[in-house]
Amino acid sequence: MQRAYKLTNQINFKNVRGDLFGGLTAAVIALPMALAFGVASGAGPTAGLYGAIIVGFFAALFGGTPTLISEPTGPMTVVITGVIASLVATNPENGMAMAFTVVIMAGVFQILLGVLKLGKYVTLMPYNVISGFMSGIGLILIILQIMPALGLRVLGEESPPSGVLGTLQALPGLIGGTHWRDAVLTLLTVLIILFFPKGLRKFAPPQLVAMIIGTILSLTFLSGDVDMARIGEIPLALPTLTVPTFSGAQMREMLVDAGVLGTLGCIDALLTSVVADSLTRTEHDSNKELVGQGIGNIASGLLGGLPGAGATMGTVVNIKAGGRTALSGLSRAAILLVVVLGASTLTENIPLSVLAGIIIKVGIDIIDWGFLKRAHYISRKSAAIMYGVIFLTVFVDLVVAVGVGVFVANMLTIEKLSMLRSDKGVTAVTDDDDTIALSAEEKLLLDKGKGRILLFSLSGPMIFGVAKAISRERAAMQNCQALVLDISEVPHLGVTTSLALENSIQEAVEGDRTVYIVGAKGQTYKRLTRLGLLDIVPADQFLPSRAEALKQALSAINQRGQQQDSDVVRPQPIA
C-alpha cells in the first residue's frame, strides 16, 4: 500500500525536551555563522540572520528530513556573494533587489526538481568533482576574507579589490597595510575554534565563544586610537517584503545564477540529509526535501534573507543534542528570532575581523583535506580532475568548473566501461574456443558448421562506447555463411549500439548470409524492431534458444550446399 503524502515534515511531541534542546543548541551555533555569512556576502548581517531564521523555519516545516537544520552555508554564500557583486555593479539602484530575486528563482528551481522527482539524481556526481568543487569554495572563502582579516577598509573613493583574482593581485599592498590588532583578533578567533576543548563543546559552541572573547578583547586590551571595523547597529524591525525585480538585459544571467544557486543548494541539502540518516538510522525523502528547501529560499528571498541549505554542523549538533523531529528546526528558528530581536544591540560591537576568522575556519573545514592527501595514491587521473576543478572553481567560474569536471570524469568512466564491455561483452567465435560458455549440444553444432557459422555473442549493457568493438568484429563475417547473434544476456541496448548491430546484420544479409537473432526480448526487441529489422530478418528467425538457432543455421548451410551440388552441370557421355 502506497504511503500517503504529507505536506508538512514529521512533527510530534513525543520528544519535546530533546527537540527543544537540539533547537536551542543549533540556534546558538547559527548566530555567529549567520552574522559572518551576512557580512561576507555584502548583503549585511541582517540578511544573514533572517536567512538563517526563514530558510530554517520553512525547510523544517515542509522538508523531508526531520532533523535537518537549514541556514546560509559557505558554498551558498560564495555564490550569492558573486551574484550580489555582479548585479550591484551593473545596476546600483536595483542590484540588491535583483539578487534577492535570484534567490527566489533558485527556490522555484528547487521546487521543480522536487515535484519532478529528480532528487535522487542531484547527487549523482563523481566524488572527485564534488571534492574539488568544495575545496575550491573553501579556498574562495579564505581568500575573500583577507581584507577584513587584516583590518583593511575602503576609504573615500577607493575601490576594493574585486573577487579572488583582484584580492590576490593586491595581496602585497594589503599585507603592507595590515592593522595588527585586527590581524591578532582574526588569528585568535581561528585558534580558539581550532583548539577548543572537545569536552566543552557540548556546553558552548567554539564559534560563539570566539566571538564573545574577540569582542571583549577589541573593547579592552586591543582597543586603540583607530577604531576597528565593526558590524554596527542591526535594525530591530521585522523583515519587510522585497518585491521581485527583473531586468530584461540581465535575465539570462539571473537565470543561470539561479540554476547554479538552486543546484548547489540541492546538493548541499541532500548530502547533509544522508549524514542525518546515518546518525538517526532513518531515511529521508529527497524530493520532499527539495520542495521544502525551495519554499524556504523563496520565503527568504521575498523577505530579504540570504539563501540557505542543509548545514552539516548545525544538523549534527541538533541530533547529538537530542533533536529527532522537525520540531527541533522550528524551535531553533523561533529561538533565533527572539535572540535577534532582543539582543541586537549586543552584536553591533562585534569586529569584522572576528567574523572573518570564523569564516576562514569554515573555509578550512570545507576543504577536503582527507581526499587531497590520498587522491594521487588512488588514481592520478582522478587527482588531476580534482585539481583541475579546484583551479577552475577558484580562478574561472563555478559553473565551468563543475561542467568541465563532470564531462571529463564521465568521458574517462565511459572509456573505461567501454573497454571492459568490449573485452568481456562482445565475442565472435566459429568454433569452441572456451571464449563463450557453450553446452555440449551447442559445441557439437558449432563444430559441425566447420567454421561456416559465426556465433556473435553480446552480454551486459550495450552502451555507445561498445559500438566500435561491434564494428571491429564484423570482419569475422567474411568467411561465414550464417550469423547467429545472441543478445539474450543484454538488458539494455543503446541507440548507437543498435545502429552498429543493424549495420552488421545488413552487411551479413547483403553478403547472402542467413541471420538468426537469439534472446531479443523487452527493451532490446523493441529497439531492434523500431529500427525496422523485421524488414531485413524474418520474424521466424528471431529465436529464444541459442541451440535452436545453431540447428537452423546448420540446416540452412547444408541445404544451401546440396542446392549448389545439384546446380553443377555434369558432362554428358559421348554417343
Contact 555, 543 (CB under 8 A): no
Cβ neighbors of 469 (< 8 A, separation 6 or more) are 418, 421, 422, 426
Contact 343, 208 (CB under 8 A): no
Say how far apart CA 291 and CA 304 lie, in whole Å.
20
> In sequence order, what are the beta bridge partners of 513?
none
The pLDDT, as a whole number, for residue 155 is 42
The pLDDT, as a whole number, for residue 188 is 95
Contact 301, 262 (CB under 8 A): no
Number of residues that make up the chain = 575
Say how far apart CA 418 and CA 378 lie, in whole Å.
21
Nine-digit cell string for 222: 586591543
The pLDDT, as a whole number, for residue 422 is 54
DSSP string, 389-407: HHHHHHHT-HHHHHHHHHH
Say how far apart CA 184 and CA 289 lie, in whole Å.
42
Nine-digit cell string for 342: 532582543
Distances (CA, A) of 199 to 27, 192, 344: 20, 14, 30
* Domain 424-562 part of CATH 3.30.750.24: yes
Say how far apart CA 455 and CA 449 lie, in whole Å.
11
What single DSSP character describes residue 281? Answer: T
Question: How many CA atoms lie less than 13 Å away from 231 in the CB half-sphere?
Answer: 30
> In sequence order, what are the beta bridge partners of 459?
489
Say how far apart CA 410 and CA 177 lie, in whole Å.
46
pLDDT means over runs of 10, the chain (575 residues) = 60 85 90 91 91 96 94 93 91 91 96 91 81 90 90 57 81 83 93 90 85 91 75 75 80 92 92 88 91 96 95 90 92 90 77 92 90 86 92 88 86 72 60 68 84 82 70 69 86 82 85 88 85 84 88 85 60 53
Nine-digit cell string for 331: 524551535
Residue of 518, 466, 361, 390 lying closest to 29 (CA atoms) = 361
**pTM for the model:** 0.76
Nine-digit cell string for 171: 595581496
- Look-up: residue for cell 579572488? 164
Nine-digit cell string for 420: 571492459
Nine-digit cell string for 200: 566543552
Nine-digit cell string for 4: 500517503
> In sequence order, what are the beta bridge partners of 230?
351
**What SS3 state is found at 256?**
helix
Contact 537, 475 (CB under 8 A): no
- Look-up: residue for cell 555507445? 464
Instruction: Indicate where the chain has its CATH 3.30.750.24 domain(s).
Output: 424-562
